[in-house]
């Protein structure tokens, strides 16, 4: 994966330099548990090291099934920053107003539980206005809801890496956002590896009262979402295999 990070970072820097310093947008999509954030964080660090500063120390990349990658030490002055699509989850209070609130909460994480209109406006503003500050939301896992990010995207942030399940979804509005991306990266993972990672990760997070119920939800929701992003996606510019995926190369 280190080689892929270097390759993708150089590709982003070359694009940036070829476009007269206009903002470059990069998205990283893929099924749940594939390691999107595990790729995004070192990618941002590497882009910044290539563009403006000595390399930022980054801990060894870890398997996303057991731990979250350490976030890069981003600065408002750094050229590249990362944003998670999770910030566009509808708040639980909004899910309560859905026609079937129980379904909306159970399947939270499916495309219909995201505020795609707000996400599309965010991407459009990033692409069209590189001088204005652009605010956004982050997902607070303790609160289980989005909260305002502590700082906006500024005019100095000329490369924005957005990672999330539906960044490459080939459906209305999601497609429009994807087509504005300069690089469209899809992270692939074997479905059995994906399932085991999700069961372990969600079990540690206490997302169900029993392991049996958790497995049932993983199969009903997460794995279904994974099949959706594989079967209904905008053509990526790059496909990379998940970190520590034993199926890679088979």
CATH number, position 55: 3.40.50.300
248 inside domain: no
In this predicted structure, what is the pLDDT of residue 80?
A: 96
* Distance between CA atoms of residues 194 and 229, nearest Å: 13
Alpha helices (runs of H) in 52-184, residue ranges in sequence order: 92-95, 101-106, 116-128, 174-179
The 10s digit of each residue's pLDDT in 163-202 is: 999 999 999 999 999 999 999 999 999 888 888 888 887 7
Number of domains in the chain: 1
246: in domain? no
The structure tokens 């996303």 sit at: 64
Q: What percentage of residues in the chain have a pLDDT greater than 90? A: 63
Domain containing 99 equals 2-241
pLDDT tens track for 29-79: 999 989 898 999 999 999 999 987 544 444 333 333 333 444 554 455 799
Cβ-in-10-Å burial (0-12, 13-18, 19+) of 250 comes to exposed
Does some domain include residue 171? yes
Q: How many C-beta neighbours within 10 Å does residue 141 have?
A: 10
Question: In this structure, what are the phi and psi dihedrals at residue 110, rounded to the nearest 5 degrees?
Answer: -75, 160
Q: Is residue 122 part of a domain?
A: yes
Q: Among residues 242, 234, 249, which one has the least CA distance to residue 166?
A: 234
DSSP-H helix ranges across the chain: 2-18, 36-51, 92-95, 101-106, 116-128, 174-179, 191-204, 211-217, 223-231
pLDDT computed for residue 220 by the predictor = 85
Q: How far apart are CA 249 and CA 129, in angstroms?
A: 42
Assigned domain for 237 exists? yes
Q: What is the model's pTM?
A: 0.83
Give the closest residue to 52 by CA, choosing from 17, 25, 84: 17
| pLDDT value for 184 | 98
d(CA 101, CA 68): 29
**Do residues 82 and 74 lie in contact, with contact meaning Cβ atoms separated by under 8 Å?**
yes
């Amino acid at each position: 994966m280190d080689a892929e990070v270097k390759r993708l970072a150089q590709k982003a820097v070359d694009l940036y330099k070829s476009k007269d310093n206009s903002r470059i947008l990069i998205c990283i999509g893929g099924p749940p548990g594939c390691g999107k954030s595990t790729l995004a964080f070192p990618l941002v660090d590497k882009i910044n090291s290539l563009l403006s500063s000595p390399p930022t120390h980054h801990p060894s990349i870890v398997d996303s099934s057991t731990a979250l990658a350490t976030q890069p030490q981003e600065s408002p002055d750094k050229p590249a920053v990362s944003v998670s699509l999770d910030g566009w989850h509808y708040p639980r209070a909004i899910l309560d107003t859905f026609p079937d609130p129980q379904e909306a909460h159970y399947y939270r994480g499916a495309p219909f539980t995201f505020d795609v209109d707000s996400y599309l406006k965010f991407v459009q503003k990033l692409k069209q206005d590189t001088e204005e500050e652009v605010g956004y939301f982050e997902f607070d896992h303790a609160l289980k809801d989005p909260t305002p990010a502590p700082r906006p995207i500024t005019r100095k942030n000329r490369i924005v890496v957005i990672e999330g399940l539906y960044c490459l979804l080939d459906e209305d509005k999601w497609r429009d956002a994807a087509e504005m991306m300069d690089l469209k990266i899809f992270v692939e993972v074997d479905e059995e590896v994906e399932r085991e990672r999700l069961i372990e990760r969600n079990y540690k997070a206490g997302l169900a009262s029993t392991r049996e119920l958790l497995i049932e939800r993983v199969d009903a929701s997460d794995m279904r979402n994974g099949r959706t992003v594989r079967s209904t996606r905008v053509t990526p510019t790059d496909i990379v295999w998940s970190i520590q995926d034993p199926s890679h190369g088979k």
